[in-house]
Amino acid sequence: AQSVTQLDSQVPVFEEAPVELRCNYSSSVSVYLFWYVQYPNQGLQLLLKYLSGSTLVESINGFEAEFNKSQTSFHLRKPSVHISDTAEYFCAVSRTNRDDKIIFGKGTRLHILP
Amino acid sequence: DTGVSQDPRHKITKRGQNVTFRCDPISEHNRLYWYRQTLGQGPEFLTYFQNEAQLEKSRLLSDRFSAERPKGSFSTLEIQRTEQGDSAMYLCASSANWDSAFFGQGTRLTVV
């Protein structure tokens, strides 16, 4: 079965500083990878996804993630964070060889310091 | 389209009572998922439907839990004889394709 590990439960970072949220996955078959974001008092929203092709994927609000098959990682990065990025971020995986559910990590809370 | 809608948003119930939650997916989305989320955890998969067919149930879903999706539109999740450990946020999501699941705001259940 596939699984997702988010190593950091909380990440504090100063405004305008860069940030990396780490995600590692485990699967015996090929996977699709996702990052979801949950802003305070809101539902989960898809931030970006890797399906195939270029290993670097970007979101519309400046985040990017790179699929690294050899390291089984899909870390999320942003070069300069804003106070509005305060949220919980969830990495998720699903298998490609069948119609499958999406499995989530435990989440990383991004705390932006003024 | 207003997105995935869940009702109620909050539910407080006494231990031992039955509760039912409803999820209205985005229209024409053929897949519907139920997840449970507790504090400090990510969403845990419970079950999902392709149209009206229930394709998979997690081992987390004990015999007290049942989900239906009649006619492949809205879905209900029922919990019988609720226990305090059932207290959580219950999330519903839908997708037209497996790769883009859209989530509702969730139903927060508190069992007292």
- pLDDT tens per residue across span A51-105: 888 889 989 889 999 999 999 999 999 999 999 999 999 999 988 766 678 899 9
If you measure CA to CA, which chain B residue comes closest to A99?
B98
Kindly report the three-state secondary structure assignment for every residue of B4-29: CEEECCEEEECCCCCEEEEEECCCCC
- Residue A1, beta-bridge partner list: none
Q: Is the pLDDT of residue B2 over 80?
A: no
What amino acid is encoded at B31 in this protein? R
Q: pLDDT band at residue B1, thresholds of 50, 70 and 90?
A: low
Which of A4, A43, A94 comes nearest B105 by C-beta?
A: A43
For A7-55, write each residue's pLDDT tens digit. Answer: 999 999 999 999 999 999 998 888 899 999 999 888 899 999 998 888 8
pLDDT for position B41: 87
A102 touches chain B (CB under 8 A): yes
Copy the structure tokens of residue B15: 């231990």
- Average pLDDT score over residue span B3-10: 96
Record the tokens describing residue A13, joined without a space. 């970072």
- Total beta-carbon pairs less than 8 A apart between chain A and chain B: 53
Per-residue pLDDT, A20: 97
pLDDT tens, residue by residue, B56-65: 888 878 899 9
Of the partner residues B44, B98, B103, the one whose CB lies closest to the CB of residue A100: B98
